[in-house]
Amino acid sequence: MSSVEIDYADVQGTILRGYRVDLARHFILSITDAAGAGAFIGGLVEGTGGLPRITTARRWTVKPECFVNVAFTAAGLAALGVTSQQLATFDPAFQLGATSATTAQTVGDVGESAPANWMGGLADGAKVHLVLSLWVAHDPAVLDKVSATLRTAFAGCMTELSANDANALPGNEIQFGYRDGISQPTVIGAPPRKYGGVPDDQPPVATGEFLLGYVNESGGIYSVTPPELSLNSSYAAFRISEQDVAAFDAFLTEYAAKAGIDVETMAAKVCGRWRNGNPLELQPDAPGTPLPMSQINNFTYVSTTLADDDTLGIKCPIGSHLRRNNPRNEAVIGGGSTTSTRHRIVRRNIPYGPPYDPAASPQPSVPRGLIGYFINASLTNQFEFLLSQWNNTYSFVSSATDPNGSADGNAVFNISGQDVFLGVNDPSDSSFTLAAIGAMGANNKTLTGFSRIVITRGGAYVFFPSITGLRFLATLPAG
Amino acid sequence: MASPLTLIMPLIPGTTLDEIIRVVAKYTPDISKAVKNIGTVHYARVMVFDRSTPNLQPGLTPGSLSLAIITEYDGDFNAYIQDFVVALGEAFFDALLPLVVGGKALLPTIDHIPEFEKYVMINDASAHPPNSLQENNGLYEAYPYTVQTILASCG
């Protein structure tokens, strides 16, 4: 794809590869014995002492029994002996951590979602040192077997604060019933994807947006010291997001009626895709049959041809989840129509909890949602920017008209509120706009007064060291 | 609601008025284009002051010069600081900062975004008392609209 060459054997696999598995377990660990923790990490890197080897981004010929990756918080790196002077070179958001008041305010972890309420030991960020993740294709027995091996190995040097399980739902759906895992950035130099065709209509994204040590979309290079921790490392936001499906269903029913549309169209409008994955941009009127992978992500929002243009969000609302999180060629403040490539993220999430049964009565109070990583080379300019600017404001859209001019409207007037899924959405100011042709949004329908439906139950800002970095950390405590 | 930025950068002693004016003049077209493309800035101006004169006006003899960038902008400045550096880093900041006290440590700006952000915060007079103690950091606004809303309303 390009001249960038990445040593896949030096990169933790989950950064560049989707494992396509059904089961995951994320251990939240706190270091009690640094030297022992170092030895454990060393064992994982080399696959010694009966431990599974850390999965790298190298191609495999036979799919492994399990996949293992490990990431560290700033407190975790400090516990292993990374100095404060060295930590000062890391992403400022990472230094602050997910539980800091500044971070929580920035990403909207407020109210019920505030870090103080988080589960699994994640509320006390100072004690959260590692997230050790294990993925298994299908077999729960393998998950338990490998978990037992890991637990035996880390028992003497780390406290297990929690183990958080994920289990894929049929059809690769999330709890809200949408098909997931369709759109990921095409990373320059990353391993090719399994399916052919056009995976993404957008320009491939610079390697440096996902790995330290390579040129990023801004023309710079994210790096840290010491150098052993820099090249081929990355950051991620680990998140446990509880999805209130009953509340979402109630929202759809109530607001579809208010908007005068059917429930499934309402579900598509707030997401940007029908629940079967087809994008509104290509299937504006009905879900249709699922498009092939070569087509399902092949669209843009802005065109010089009126028939193909959706600058105004008539087909796919500008405030839909899809469009907010990746405006593609839509003009946004900060740099116009090419800005979105500077704020892409790799998503590695799997649902947790049982599937929602709308017929169950009484409805059991069972937590369900999505758990996993949002991976990027800059938590500040990618994950946090997405949450704070594109999901929790509406003023990021640039003034733009369709090819007919301002008589049809302007994009600025066709978005309101916050993202229905990831916004804070206090009912006092929550808002979603269904746009219609008309100057200055004159014919728009604006829906207001709804509540938050995704609650943050846990999180950690973590650093995925390269394999070189893991070897460095393994020996660091021993001096 | 807009916010004020009053970035006052002391220049390295010995920097002449001619040097700083030349840098600013050379990059003014780039600055205008970049600021327009970013789309959050209502007004902006670059000014030179001399701390050694009673009325701060620079004269012909070298003094203690400071360069000020004064703007009113929408939204969160820090969230868009990388966009500013992408747009202006190579063209302006990288030429300007060698003339600024402490500026060389920020070069190239594209690889020193957190440090540049800190530098701006430290040197933004609007962000420090007594200016920051005033309502909206002392900024009067005749209207509550964003740049993009105004542009959209103008058709």
Contacts of residues B21-26 at CB distance under 8 Å and 24 or more positions apart, as own/partner, are B21/B48, B23/B92, B23/B95, B23/B96, B23/B99, B24/B48, B24/B67, B24/B96, B26/B95
Q: Rounded to a whole number, what is the distance in Å from the CA of B38 to chain A's nearest CA?
A: 4
A283 shares its domain with A323: yes
Query: Do A221 and A99 share a structural domain?
Result: yes
Q: Which residues of A touch B117 (CB under 8 A)?
A: 92
pLDDT at B8: 97
User: Distance, in angstroms, between A212 CA and closest chain B CA?
Assistant: 12
pLDDT on residue A200? 66
Q: How many domains does chain B have?
A: 1
Nearest to A447 by CA among A246, A253, A175, A174: A253
* Domain match, A99 and A141 both: yes
Which backbone phi and psi does A405 adopt, to 5 degrees? 95, -170
B144–A contact, CB cutoff 8 A = no
Is some CB atom of chain A closer than 8 A to the CB atom of B111? yes
Label residue B60 by pLDDT band (50, 70, 90): confident
Q: Within a domain: residue A422? A: yes
Q: Do A450 and A469 reside in the same domain of the chain?
A: no
Among A338, A340, A341, A396, pick the best mutation site for testing chain B contact (most B Cβ within 10 A): A396
In a domain, A410, yes or no: yes
Identify whether residues A298 and A174 lie together within a single domain.
no
Measured CA to CA, the distance from residue A266 to residue A257 in angstroms comes to 9
pLDDT tens for each residue of B93-104: 889 999 999 999
Q: Do A218 and B86 meet the contact criterion of CB atoms below 8 Å apart?
A: yes
Q: What local confidence, expressed as pLDDT, does residue A360 receive?
A: 85
Looking at this protein, which amino acid is placed at residue A325? N
A338 three-state secondary structure: coil
Q: Report the C-alpha gap between A227 and B117 in whole angstroms.
A: 23
Is A359 among the domain residues?
A: no
The tens place of each residue's pLDDT in chain A, 479 residues long, gives 458 999 999 999 999 999 999 999 999 999 999 999 999 999 999 999 999 999 999 998 888 999 999 999 999 999 999 999 999 999 999 999 999 999 999 999 999 999 999 999 999 999 999 999 999 999 999 999 999 999 999 999 999 999 999 999 999 999 999 999 888 899 999 988 765 544 667 889 999 999 999 999 999 999 999 999 999 999 999 999 999 999 999 999 999 999 999 999 999 999 999 999 999 999 999 999 999 988 899 999 999 999 999 999 999 999 999 999 999 999 999 987 778 889 999 999 999 999 998 888 777 789 999 999 999 999 999 999 999 999 999 999 999 999 999 999 999 999 999 999 999 999 999 999 999 999 999 999 999 999 999 999 999 999 999 999 999 999 998 77
Query: Are A130 and A35 members of one domain?
Result: yes
> Using a CB-CB distance cutoff of 8 angstroms, which residues of chain A are in contact with residue B151?
399, 412
Query: How close, in Å, is residue A336 to chain B by CA atoms?
Result: 6
> Looking at the structure, do residues A97 and A138 belong to the same domain, yes or no?
yes
Instruction: Give the pLDDT confidence score for residue A198 in this predicted structure.
Output: 47
> pTM of this prediction?
0.95
Q: How far apart are CA B68 and CA A355, in angstroms?
A: 59
- Residues A303, A290: Cα–Cα separation, whole Å: 24
What residues of chain A lie within 8 A of the CB of B40, using their CB?
333-334
Residue A365 lies in a domain: no
Q: Angle, to 10 degrees, between the axis of helix B81-88 and the axis of helix B113-123?
A: 100
Examine the domain organization and report whether A193 and A306 are in the same domain. Answer: no
- Assigned domain for A323 exists: yes
pLDDT score for A361? 79
Q: A145 is in which domain, residue-wise?
A: 8-241+458-475
What is the ipTM, given to two decimal places?
Answer: 0.92
User: Residues A138, A22: contact at Cβ < 8 Å?
Assistant: yes
Mutation site for A-interface testing, chosen from B35, B77, B113 by largest number of A Cβ within 10 Å: B113
Please tell me which of the candidates A389, A397, A440 has its beta carbon nearest to residue B79. Answer: A389
- Backbone torsion region of residue A441, taken as left when φ is above 0, otherwise alpha when ψ lies between -120 and 50, otherwise beta: left
Q: Do B114 and A92 touch (CB under 8 A)?
A: yes
How many separate domains does chain A show?
A: 2
Same domain assignment for residues A171 and A298: no
Rounded average pLDDT over B69-83: 93
Segments forming the whole domain that contains residue B8: 2-153
